[in-house]
C-alpha cells in the first residue's frame, strides 16, 4: 500500500505515561511518543519486556489515559471508542462458560447490537478463521491456535476499523504462529483493517508490517520507526528477501544498543 497518500486514522501526539507505585512514587513507563497511523496500515511495536508496548497500545485504545499528550481517532478528534476497534489479548481471553459462537458474539452483547444479525456474522467470521465446525465447542476443547483464531473472529465481529493486538501469538508454536500470521495478513488486507500489533518476535513484526516501531527500555521510549517496503501481502519466503534481512538486522542492532545502555545505567 502507499501510506503517503492515505490519511491518518490515529494521531499519537506526545503521548507518555507515568504510573505510580503503591508508595505513590512515580514510575515513568513511556516517554512521549509522537506518530500518525495511516488508514489500513499495519504497524508493529517491538522491544524488550517492560518498555511500554502494552501501555502505548492501551492508551491508543482509550483503555488507559496518557499522563501527558493525547491519542485521538482522526475521524472524531477524541479517543477511539469501543465500537471502532477490536482488541486481541495475549491469552485468547475467551469466556470458558460460553461456546465459541457465543464468545465471538460478545462485542454485540457489550455494544448492544442486534443479536440475530450478530449471530449470522459470527458464523461467517468463524468460517473466515476456519473454525466453522467449532462453533458450539467450549474454549477448553480447542487448541491454543484455535482459541486465538476465535479471539480474532471476536475482535472483528462489529466490523471495527482498527485492530489492537497485544502479543496475540506469543504462546503458540512456530508453525501455528506462521499459519496465523498469514491468516491475519489475509484478513487485514482483504478487510482493509488498520492494525497495531505488539510482538516480541522481530521477524514476525517485519513480515507483517508496513512500519515497525522499535522501543527501548530505561525508561521506555520509541527509539526508531522503520519502514518495510516489501509489497503486501507478503509470503513466507519473503523472509529471505534482502530488505527483510536488512531490517531485521537493523532492529536487532537497535535493541542490542538499548540493552547496553540500560546496563550502563544500572
Cβ within 8 Å of residue 156, ≥6 positions away: 86, 125, 128, 163, 187, 191, 193
CB-nearer residue toward ligand ADP: 55 or 161: 55
Q: How far is CA 71 from CA 22, 133, 162, in A?
A: 27, 40, 14
Sign of CA dihedral 77, 78, 84, 90: positive
CB-nearer residue toward ligand ADP: 28 or 144: 28
Q: How far is the CB of 177 from Mg ion (least distance, A)?
A: 17
Name the 3-class secondary structure at 10: strand
Supply angle C-alpha 259, 26, 60, rounded to 5. Answer: 70
Write each residue from 202 to 231 as x if it is in contact with ligand ADP (CB under 6 A), else as -, in one continuous string: ------------------x-----------
The verdict on 23 binding ligand ADP (CB under 6 A) reads no
Q: Which of residues 130-189 bind ligand ADP (CB under 6 A)?
A: none
Measure CA of the first residue to CA of the last residue in the chain; give whole Å. 43
Q: How far is the CB of 263 from ligand ADP (least distance, A)?
A: 16
Binders of ligand ADP: how many residues, by CB under 6 A? 13
Q: For residue 129, which of 167, 196, 185, 200 has the smallest C-alpha distance?
A: 185
Q: Which of residues 231-250 bind ligand ADP (CB under 6 A)?
A: none
CB-nearer residue toward ligand ADP: 144 or 218: 218
Write each residue from 41 to 80 as x if it is in contact with ligand ADP (CB under 6 A), else as -, in one continuous string: ------x-xxxxxxx-------------------------
CA 213 – CA 251 distance, rounded (Å): 9
Which of 52-60, 81-89, 157-165, 177-185 is the region at the interface with Mg ion (rule: CB under 5 A)?
A: 52-60
Q: How far is the CB of 99 from Mg ion (least distance, A)?
A: 29
The label of the residue with cell 497518500 reads: 5
Q: How far is the CB of 109 from Mg ion (least distance, A)?
A: 27
Among 14, 27, 117, 236, binds ligand ADP (CB under 6 A): 27
- How many Cα atoms are found within 13 Å in the side-chain-facing hemisphere of 69? 18
Cβ 8 vs Cβ 38: under 8 Å: yes
Q: How far is the CB of 222 from ligand ADP (least distance, A)?
A: 12
Q: How far is the CB of 51 from Mg ion (least distance, A)?
A: 9
Cβ 200 vs Cβ 194: under 8 Å: no
The verdict on 54 binding Mg ion (CB under 5 A) reads yes
- Interface residues with ligand ADP (CB under 6 A) are 19, 21, 27, 29, 47, 49-55, 220
Which positions touch Mg ion (CB under 5 A)?
A: 54
Amino acid at each position: 500500500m502507499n501510506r503517503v497518500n492515505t490519511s491518518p486514522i490515529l494521531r499519537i501526539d506526545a503521548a507518555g505515561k507515568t504510573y505510580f507505585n503503591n508508595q505513590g512514587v512515580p514510575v515513568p513507563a513511556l516517554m512521549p511518543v509522537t506518530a500518525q497511523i495511516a488508514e489500513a496500515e499495519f504497524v508493529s511495536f517491538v522491544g524488550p519486556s517492560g518498555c511500554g508496548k502494552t501501555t502505548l497500545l492501551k492508551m491508543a485504545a482509550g483503555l488507559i489515559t496518557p499522563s501527558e499528550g493525547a491519542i485521538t481517532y482522526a475521524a472524531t478528534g477524541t479517543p477511539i471508542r469501543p465500537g471502532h476497534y477490536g482488541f486481541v489479548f495475549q491469552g485468547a481471553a475467551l469466556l470458558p462458560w460460553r461456546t465459541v459462537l457465543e464468545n465471538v458474539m460478545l462485542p454485540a452483547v457489550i455494544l448492544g447490537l442486534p443479536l440475530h444479525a450478530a449471530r449470522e456474522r459470527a458464523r461467517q467470521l468463524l468460517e473466515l478463521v476456519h473454525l466453522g465446525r467449532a462453533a458450539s465447542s467450549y474454549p477448553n476443547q480447542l487448541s491454543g491456535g484455535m482459541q486465538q483464531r476465535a479471539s480474532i473472529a471476536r475482535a472483528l465481529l462489529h466490523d471495527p476499523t482498527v485492530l489492537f493486538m497485544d502479543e496475540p501469538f506469543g504462546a503458540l508454536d512456530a508453525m501455528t504462529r506462521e499459519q496465523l500470521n498469514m491468516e491475519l495478513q489475509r484478513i487485514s488486507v482483504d478487510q482493509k483493517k488498520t492494525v497495531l500489533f505488539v510482538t516480541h518476535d522481530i521477524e514476525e513484526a517485519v513480515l507483517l508490517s508496513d512500519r515497525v516501531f522499535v522501543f527501548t527500555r530505561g525508561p521506555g521510549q520509541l527509539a526508531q520507526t522503520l519502514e518495510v517496503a516489501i509489497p503486501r501481502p507478503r509470503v513466507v519466503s519473503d523472509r529471505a528477501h534482502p530488505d527483510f534481512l536488512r531490517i531485521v538486522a537493523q532492529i536487532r542492532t537497535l535493541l542490542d544498543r538499548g540493552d547496553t545502555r540500560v546496563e550502563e545505567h544500572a
